[in-house]
Amino acid sequence: MEPVQNLRETNSGFAITWLGYLTVPFIKEWQKNSVIWTSAKGKIIQLDLNGIQRIDSAGIQFLIYIKTLSQQNHFSIKLENHSLPVLKVLDLLGLVSFFGDRVKVKKEHSNEVEFRYGTRKIS
């Protein structure tokens, strides 16, 4: 599926909505067309992930890269409206606390994610 992105400026920074597959083709397209990551100092970037239908390891790596970049370049990144595929991957990899964003799980999806990975002690 071809990636779709909607970028708009807000009072505090930028709001970005991503739709489709957060996979290698999407990431290549986004990085090629965006200078937002270098011009966001002191701003808040809100990423709406509700439209993400599929996410792979490259997509997760890109989210981690953006989070790391935000810390290095002094801007805030907030992941919002996580889709079920995104929630499942964050749950499986134990990355919810890494991103530190508020996660809302729809009632119909509550049995599909437990958010226990990364919190259990290994014996």
- For residue 8, give the CATH number of its domain: 3.30.750.24
Any domain includes 63: yes
Distance CA 62, CA 56 (A): 10
Q: In total, how many domains does the chain have? A: 1
For each of the chain's 123 residues, which pLDDT tens digit applies?
A: 656 778 888 899 889 898 899 988 888 777 665 666 667 788 899 999 999 999 999 999 999 988 998 888 889 999 999 999 999 999 889 898 889 888 888 888 888 887 766 555 444
Any domain includes 50: yes
Q: Which helix (H) or strand (E) holds 32?
A: helix 24-33
Any domain includes 16: yes
- H helix and E strand count, the chain: 4, 4
Any domain includes 118: no
Q: Domain span at residue 11?
A: 4-109
Distance CA 7, CA 121 (A): 41
Environment class of residue 87 by beta-carbon count within 10 Å: exposed (0-12), middle (13-18) or buried (19+)?
buried
